[in-house]
Structure 1
Amino acid sequence: MPRSARRLALKSLVALSLLASAGAWAQGKTVKVLVGFAPGGGTDAIARTLAEHLKDELGATVIVENKPGAGGQLAAQALKAAPADGSTFFISHDHTISILPLVSRSPGFDPARDFVPVAGFASFVNAFAVSGGTPAKSLNDYTAWVKSHGNGQGVVGIPAPASTPEFLVKVLAERFKLDLVPAPYRGSAPMIGDMLGNQIAAGVGSVPDFIENHKSGRVRIVAVLGGKRQAILPDVPTLAELGIGGFEDLPYYGFFAPAGTPKPVIEDFSRALAKVIARPDVKERLTGMGLAVEFMNAQQLAARERAYSKSWAEIIRTSGFQPQ
Structure 2
Amino acid sequence: MKLSISRLALKALRVAFFSYTWVAACSASAQSTGDPLRLLVGFPPGGGTDAIARVLAEKLGEELGKPVVVDNRAGAGGQIAAQILKSAPADGRTFFLSNDHTISIVPQVMKNPGFDPPKDFVPVAGFANSINGLAVPATSPVRTVAEYVAWVKRQNGACNAVGIPAPASIPEFLVRDIGAKYQLDLQAVPYRGSGPMIVDMLSNQIPAGIGSVADFIEYHKAGKIRLIALIGRERQTLFPDVQTFSELGMTGLEDLPYYGFFAPRGTPQAAMDRFGAALAKVVATPAVHDRITAMGFLVEFTNQGQFTERVRVYTTQWAQTIKASGYQPQ
TM-score bracket, shorter-length normalisation: 0.7 to 0.9
Correspondence for 1:169: 175
Tell me, yes or no, if structure 1 residue 251 matches structure 2 residue 257: yes
Letter in 1 for 2:252: G
Correspondence for 2:145: 139
Match for residue 312 of structure 2 among 287, 290, 306: 306
Matching of residues 1-324 of structure 1 within 5 Å: 27-149=33-155, 151-324=157-330
CA deviation string 1:103-159 (max 9, x = no partner): 221111000111111111122321111122423222233333333446344322222
**RMSD of aligned C-alpha atoms?**
2.1
Q: Secondary structure at the match of 1:32?
A: strand
Letter in 2 for 1:210: F
Offset of 1:191 from its aligned partner? 2.6
Structure number with larger C-alpha Rg = 2
TM norm structure 2: 0.84
Offset of 1:193 from its aligned partner? 3.2
- Is the Cα contact below 8 Å between 1:122 and 1:295 reproduced in 2? yes
Correspondence for 1:9: none
Letter in 2 for 1:175: K
Letter in 1 for 2:152: V
Change (3 A) 1:61 1:83: same
Offset of 1:222 from its aligned partner? 0.6
Offset of 1:220 from its aligned partner? 1.1
Q: Secondary structure at the match of 1:151?
A: coil
- Counterparts of 2:171 and 2:98 in 1: how far apart (Å)? 16
- State the number of aligned residues: 301
Q: Secondary structure at the match of 1:128?
A: strand
Q: Secondary structure at the match of 1:113?
A: helix
Extract unaligned runs of 5+ from structure 2.
Answer: 1-29
Offset of 1:88 from its aligned partner? 2.3
Identity of matched residues, %: 58
Offset of 1:97 from its aligned partner? 0.8
Correspondence for 2:16: none
Correspondence for 2:4: none
TM norm structure 1: 0.85
- Is the Cα contact below 8 Å between 1:84 and 1:262 reproduced in 2? yes
- Counterparts of 1:115 and 1:151 in 2: how far apart (Å)? 44
Structure 1 stretch 125-134 or stretch 217-226: which is displaced more? Answer: 125-134
CA deviation string 1:265-291 (max 9, x = no partner): 111111111111010111111222232
- Is the Cα contact below 8 Å between 2:176 and 2:186 reproduced in 1? yes
Q: Secondary structure at the match of 1:179?
A: coil
